[in-house]
A and B are shown apart, each in its own frame.
Chain A
Amino acid sequence: AQSVTQPDARVTVSEGASLQLRCKYSYSGTPYLFWYVQYPRQGLQLLLKYYSGDPVVQGVNGFEAEFSKSNSSFHLRKASVHWSDSAVYFCVVGSNAKLTFGKGTKLSVKS
């Protein structure tokens, strides 16, 4: 069975600071990995996805994530956060669109 662990339920950072949101996954075989973001009162939107190739994948709005097979991790990073990045971020693993979501990390950016 596949699973995703996001160990941090809430993260608070100051505007302009760097960010890392952690994600560990469990999956048999080669996983499809995603980060989705949910802004307040909106549906989920895809930030980035990874299947193979360069372990560092670029997403929208300056986000990137790094895949590590040895650590079973897919951490999300951003060099400098903006207040508009405040949202809930979900790490996701899946195949054939049967996605398994982590519990999410709520990011608050202080201005």
Chain B
Amino acid sequence: DPKIIQKPKYLVAVTGSEKILICEQYLGHNAMYWYRQSAKKPLEFMFSYSYQKLMDNQTASSRFQPQSSKKNHLDLQITALKPDDSATYFCASSQVRSNERLFFGHGTKLSVL
């Protein structure tokens, strides 16, 4: 059974709309992250959270807002969607925010038309 659940697996949105990508982890980890993998770029770090607090933000646009309602949740809200936002978004977690092993979810593939 997957220990990091991302919902939905696939998502189609229209330009200008807003979507929320869901991530829940059942590993008992205290740090969670979002990464993005677009067609022409390597996997890119977006955010890190530790104990539900934002630690790092490498996303230039404020249209991307992580939301942590529970310790094991880190959702990603994206507003005013653009075609360039089309990518697979991966949620990950680790025991603590350090260099130890990251566990990744299967990703949400977002297509913006």
Q: Are B33 and A97 in contact (CB under 8 A)?
A: yes
Q: Are B106 and A96 in contact (CB under 8 A)?
A: no
Q: Does B94 contact A (CB under 8 A)?
A: yes
Q: Can you name the residue of chain A whose Cβ is closest to the Cβ of B48?
A: A97
- Given A41-B106, A43-B4, A95-B99, A104 contacting B90 (CB threshold 8 A): no
Q: Are A96 and B56 in contact (CB under 8 A)?
A: yes
Q: Does A78 contact B (CB under 8 A)?
A: no
Which chain B positions have C-beta within 8 A of A100?
42, 45
Q: How large is the interface on A (under 10, 10 to 19, 20 to 34, 35 or more residues)?
A: 20 to 34
Alpha-carbon distance between A95 and B56 when the two chains are bound, in angstroms: 12
Q: Are B97 and A44 in contact (CB under 8 A)?
A: no
Q: Are A98 and B90 in contact (CB under 8 A)?
A: no
- Given A98-B58, A99-B45, A43 contacting B99 (CB threshold 8 A): no
Which chain B positions have C-beta within 8 A of A102?
42
Q: Are A42 and B106 in contact (CB under 8 A)?
A: yes
Out of B41, B42, B48, B106, which one reaches A98, CB within 8 Å?
B48
Q: Are A97 and B105 in contact (CB under 8 A)?
A: no
Q: Does A22 contact B (CB under 8 A)?
A: no
10 closest A-B pairs by CB: A43-B104, A101-B43, A32-B99, A44-B104, A101-B42, A43-B106, A103-B42, A46-B101, A98-B45, A43-B105
Residues on A lying within 8 angstroms of B by beta carbon are 4, 32, 36, 41-46, 49, 51, 90, 94-104
New A-B pairs, 10, CB < 8 Å, besides A43-B4, A101-B42: A36-B104, A43-B2, A43-B90, A43-B103, A43-B105, A43-B106, A96-B97, A97-B99, A98-B56, A98-B58
